Amino acid sequence: MNATKIIANKELKSYLNSPAAYIVLVVFLLISGWFFASPLFINNQAELRSLFNIIPMIFIFFVPAITMGLIAKERNIGTIEQLSTFPIQESQIVMGKFWASVGLIAVGLLFTLIHFLTIIILGQNIDYGAILCGYLGLLLLGAVYSSIGLFASSLTDNQIVSFIISFLIIFFLFILEYSLFILPSYLSGFFQYLSINYHFSNLTRGVIDTRNLVYFGSLIVLFLRFAIIRLKSGKWK
């Protein structure tokens, strides 16, 4: 088995053994469930749009919470020393942890499929394509946030600090679209492209555009790269 997979397995197992992951998952499902269910009963509308609107916002808290310990905790209890003296590469450590985080997010999203089922039962004219794209978008969003969270986690040995840093970066990317109006018009195009919501909302409309995928992909690669560089630099200080 390759080292990335071994690390990912270990992290996933430790998620499933810790109460924190369950608490975060339950809170995530409660909030998303409430936002799905209330329009269902109040407006008699069965749709996933509200879900796709709210989950990116929940992710702003949810993802930093699950990634904050990934490296910071290893630094704090010193296991990073052990891990670094095993014959594996920093990139394998980071990638393993990244996949574990994405895995846990996927589990969270899997549970929201129950809302999808509700819609299949109650709804008419369901746009399966848009929903599928929406889920793909959510997973990509989770992956981007995970890579940011991992980078933040690699910076410090304090999980709270790690949480706050990743929250700030993610929040910045998230808020960009809403702050475009204060920018001069010739810049707004550029900043709109940087905004994560812009790319995500394209996906929820059921359009898979390579520009959006490139955006998500490059953010993921960038922050994972940063995390790897940071891990290496700690060693060569």
Which residues of the shown chain bind other proteins in the complex (CB under 8 A)? 1, 3, 6-7, 10, 13-14, 17-18, 77-82, 84-89, 235-237
Which one, 67 or 195, has the nearer CB to other proteins?
67
Q: Is 78 left (phi over 0), alpha (psi -120 to 50) or beta?
A: left
Specify the DSSP class assigned to residue 126.
-
Which one, 179 or 235, has the nearer CB to other proteins?
235
The secondary structure element, H or E, covering residue 154 is helix 128-155
Which one, 51 or 80, has the nearer CB to other proteins?
80
Q: How far is the CB of 79 from other proteins (least distance, A)?
A: 4
Which one, 3 or 169, has the nearer CB to other proteins?
3
Nearest CA to 93 out of 68, 66, 74 is that of 74
Q: How far is the CB of 209 from other proteins (least distance, A)?
A: 40
Q: How far is the CB of 9 from other proteins (least distance, A)?
A: 8
Tokens standing for residue 183:
């920018």
Note the residue count of the chain.
Answer: 237
Which one, 82 or 179, has the nearer CB to other proteins?
82
Instruction: Count Cβ atoms within 10 A of the Cβ of residue 202 and give its class: 0-12 exposed, 13-18 middle, 19 or more buried.
Output: middle
Which one, 87 or 184, has the nearer CB to other proteins?
87
Q: How far is the CB of 147 from other proteins (least distance, A)?
A: 23
State the Cα torsion 219-220-222-227 to the nearest 10°.
140
Which one, 15 or 52, has the nearer CB to other proteins?
15
Q: How far is the CB of 36 from other proteins (least distance, A)?
A: 33
State the Cα torsion 145-213-203-201 to the nearest 10°.
60
Q: How far is the CB of 90 from other proteins (least distance, A)?
A: 11
What is the C-alpha separation between 116 and 31, in angstroms, rounded?
Answer: 16
Nearest CA to 207 out of 215, 199, 217 is that of 199
Q: How far is the CB of 23 from other proteins (least distance, A)?
A: 15
Tokens standing for residue 81:
């020393």
